[in-house]
Structure 1
Amino acid sequence: MSQYHFRSADGASADAPLIFLFHGTGGDENQFFDLAGQLLPGARRVAPRGDVSEHGALRYFKRTGEGVYDLADLALRTDAMAAFIREQIGAKRPSKVIGLGYSNGANILANVQFNFPDLFDASVLMHPLIPFTPAPVDLTKAEVLITAGRRDPMASAPVTEGLAQYFEANGAATKLVFHEGGHEVRQEELIAIQQFLA
């Protein structure tokens, strides 16, 4: 990754939980940084900035249309992100490694999990859209929370439910939480995330 934002929470020990934060399209490394400090006090936080520009909006990988991904680019950037994550984790793994991503950030996080299932102990996927069927992988050590809107115009409820079923079928302890809105993040979602991280 060419750019990333890193700040250590006050008093965070070396083995404190480490949380990676992935912004949505048009966001940046600051989008969830302060929120994560409230949701998981004492954790170390790393927020990488997407280095793909789509008409000036930052993303983590290219797409050719709404919901149509450049899969070759996704594969390259997934490998690069996994290398970045390993570098940040370091030689001594912290007590827990967590990922939290929204929209495009949830998509890169999910794809890292499909390809490198050993990296994250837990993940929060907010409004993900995975328009392909991932290969089976051992996710028995993972905990996954998916949050979504039932009326999300970008990621339909059936597609989101299919992703939850994929994680369950591959052994992850999976929870799916819907709100009644669209692609926006709502308060009940944040409450569910706080409970999951606790």
Structure 2
Amino acid sequence: MTTFNHFYQPGDAGLPTILMLHGTGGDEEDLLPIADFIAPKNSKLGIRGQLVEQGMTRYFKHLPNGGFDLESLATETDLLVTEIKRLAQEYQLDYDKMIVLGFSNGANVALYAMLHDLVPFKSGIFMHPMLLTDAEVAGASLGSVWISHGILDPIVPERIFNLLQQRLKEAHADVTVFEHEKSHEVTMPEIQAAKKWFEELK
């Protein structure tokens, strides 16, 4: 059985659990300071990507040309979803109502799972995500989604970010967009905007 390194911080059992999925090179506690700032009362569950490329942790592989390995993406997403289910049972968490907090690689794998209808939860905060494949809306119906983008980001070109917005709207998501004039980094105004969105989430 595949096992992932994970981190769990209990909170108010009546509130949705925050599922933390880190960016490339991160770990299961990487997003905890942001999660605690945005949702101080909620339980937190962080899961580390089990793949390592060039010394950095990831949730799925890249191809030699820098593109995404879609076979790895599908396989690793299935394994990750299975692990999230297992941990939800272990800690008696409401799997259906989890809210994602993802950055970059972690945001990408979560959105891939949601757009492919592989998970029951529908909402989240996705910092600097991108669309991984061109055909991702297979009957998925999402909830409220907050996404961010850096205008100077060389990793996520504006065209790709705009295509992601289009796919999310096709999946009936209520999309909130935050943009800053920086690159592929998380800024304090970005975190504050995500917190405001979260506090207004129904």
Same fold (TM over 0.5): yes
Residue in 2 aligned with 1:22? 21
How far the C-alpha of 1:65 sits from its partner, in A, is: 4.4
Residue in 1 aligned with 2:185? 184
Residue in 1 aligned with 2:150? 149
Q: Secondary structure at the match of 1:31?
A: coil
How far the C-alpha of 1:85 sits from its partner, in A, is: 1.8
Q: Secondary structure at the match of 2:186?
A: coil
Partner AA of 1:63 in structure 2: H
Instruction: Give yes or no for contact 1:18–1:43 (8 Å, CA) kept in 2.
Output: yes
Instruction: Give yes or no for contact 1:6–1:47 (8 Å, CA) kept in 2.
Output: yes
Q: Give the fraction of aligned pairs with identical amino acids, expressed as a percent.
A: 30
> Following the alignment from structure 1 to structure 2, what is the Cα–Cα distance between the partners of residues 190 and 92?
25
Q: Provide closer, same or farther for how the CA distance between residues 179 and 189 of structure 1 changes in structure 2, counting only shifts above 3 A.
A: same
Q: Secondary structure at the match of 1:193?
A: helix
Residue in 2 aligned with 1:83? 82
Equivalences for 1:112-127 in 2 at 5 Å? 112-116=113-117, 118-127=119-128
Instruction: Give yes or no for contact 1:15–1:95 (8 Å, CA) kept in 2.
Output: no
Residue in 1 aligned with 2:36? 37
Residue in 2 aligned with 1:193? 194
> Following the alignment from structure 1 to structure 2, what is the Cα–Cα distance between the partners of residues 25 and 133?
22
Instruction: Give yes or no for contact 1:19–1:99 (8 Å, CA) kept in 2.
Output: yes
How far the C-alpha of 1:67 sits from its partner, in A, is: 5.0
Q: Could you say what the CA RMSD is over the residues aligned between the two structures, in angstroms?
A: 2.0
Q: Which segment is superposed worse, 64-73 or 39-48?
A: 64-73
Q: Which segment is superposed worse, 137-146 or 48-57?
A: 137-146
Instruction: Give yes or no for contact 2:122–2:143 (8 Å, CA) kept in 1.
Output: yes
Deviations 1:71-123 (A, max 9, x none): 00100011111112222333763683101111111111111112235422311
Partner AA of 1:72 in structure 2: E
> Following the alignment from structure 1 to structure 2, what is the Cα–Cα distance between the partners of residues 130 and 95?
23
> Following the alignment from structure 1 to structure 2, what is the Cα–Cα distance between the partners of residues 50 and 187?
25
Q: Secondary structure at the match of 1:137?
A: coil
Equivalences for 1:121-140 in 2 at 5 Å? 121-140=122-141
TM-score using structure 2 length: 0.88
How far the C-alpha of 1:184 sits from its partner, in A, is: 1.0
Residue in 1 aligned with 2:52? 53
Residue in 2 aligned with 1:74? 73
> Following the alignment from structure 2 to structure 1, what is the Cα–Cα distance between the partners of residues 147 and 68?
20
> Following the alignment from structure 1 to structure 2, what is the Cα–Cα distance between the partners of residues 179 and 15?
34
Q: Provide closer, same or farther for how the CA distance between residues 183 and 37 of structure 1 changes in structure 2, counting only shifts above 3 A.
A: same
Bigger share in strand: 1
Q: Secondary structure at the match of 2:63?
A: strand
- In the alignment, structure 2 segments of 5+ residues that lack a partner are none
Q: Which segment is superposed worse, 61-70 or 21-30?
A: 61-70
TM-score using structure 1 length: 0.90
- In the alignment, structure 1 segments of 5+ residues that lack a partner are none
